[in-house]
Structure 1
Amino acid sequence: MQTTLSTKSAVSAMLPGIFKFLRLEKKDHIGYIYLAKSENNELDADFLNEIILAHDLFEADDDVWGVIWTSDSPSCFCSGFDPRYMHSLDKAGKMMTFHKLFKTTHRVFAFSKPELVLLTGYALAAGSVIMMGADWRFLNEDKARISFPEVMLGISIPSAMIAMLRLHAGEQNLSRLVQMGDSIKPQEALKLGIVNEIMPLADLMPAGERFMKRLFQKPLGGFRAVKKNLRRDVLALFENDPSLGDFEELMGANFDEALLSIIEKRRPKFNNP
Structure 2
Amino acid sequence: MIFNITTKNCRIGLTSLVRRNYSVSGNLVNVQKDDATGTSILSMARPPVNGLNRELLVELRESLNKAVQNKSRGVILTSSLPKIFSGGLDIMEMYKPDMKRAREFWNDLQETWMTLYGLTIPTAAAINGSSPAGGCLFAMACEYRVFVEGKHQIGLNETQLGIVAPIWFQTSYIDTIGYRQSEQALLKGAQFSPQQALKIGLVNELVANKDDAIAMCQKYIESFANIPAMAREMTKYDLRNKRIAWLKENREVDTKRFLDFIVSPKVQAAIGLYIQSLKQKN
2:200 to 162, 177, 192: 192
CA RMSD of aligned residues (A): 2.2
Deviates most, 214-223 or 33-42: 214-223
For normalisation by structure 2, the TM-score amounts to 0.79
2:260 to 243, 249, 265: 249
1:208 and 2:212 aligned:
no
1:259 matched residue in structure 2: 271
1:189 alignment partner AA: A
1:82 to 74, 82, 90: 90
1:248 alignment partner AA: L
**Identical-pair percentage:** 21
1:26 alignment partner AA: K
2:231 matched residue in structure 1: 222
1:29 to 38, 41, 55: 38
1:19 to 13, 17, 26: 26
Could you say what secondary structure the match of 1:179 adopts? Answer: helix
C-alpha contact (below 8 Å) 1:154/1:254 kept by paired residues: no
C-alpha contact (below 8 Å) 1:153/1:259 kept by paired residues: no
Q: Tell me, which stretches of 5 or more residues in structure 2 are unaligned?
A: 1-23
2:248 matched residue in structure 1: 239
2:144 matched residue in structure 1: 136
Count matched residues. Answer: 249
2:107 alignment partner AA: H
The Cα shift of 1:154 comes to: 3.6
The Cα shift of 1:224 comes to: 1.6
Greater relative contact order (Cα < 8 A, sep 6+): 2
Q: How does 1:28-47 map to 2 (within 5 A)?
A: 28-47=37-56
2:66 matched residue in structure 1: 57
1:122 alignment partner AA: S
**C-alpha distance in structure 2 between counterparts of 1:257 and 1:178, whole Å:** 25
1:102 to 81, 106, 110: 110
For each residue in 1:226-264, what CA deviation from the matched residue of structure 2 results, as whole angstroms up to 9, or x when unmatched? Answer: 211111211211211244432233222343344335434
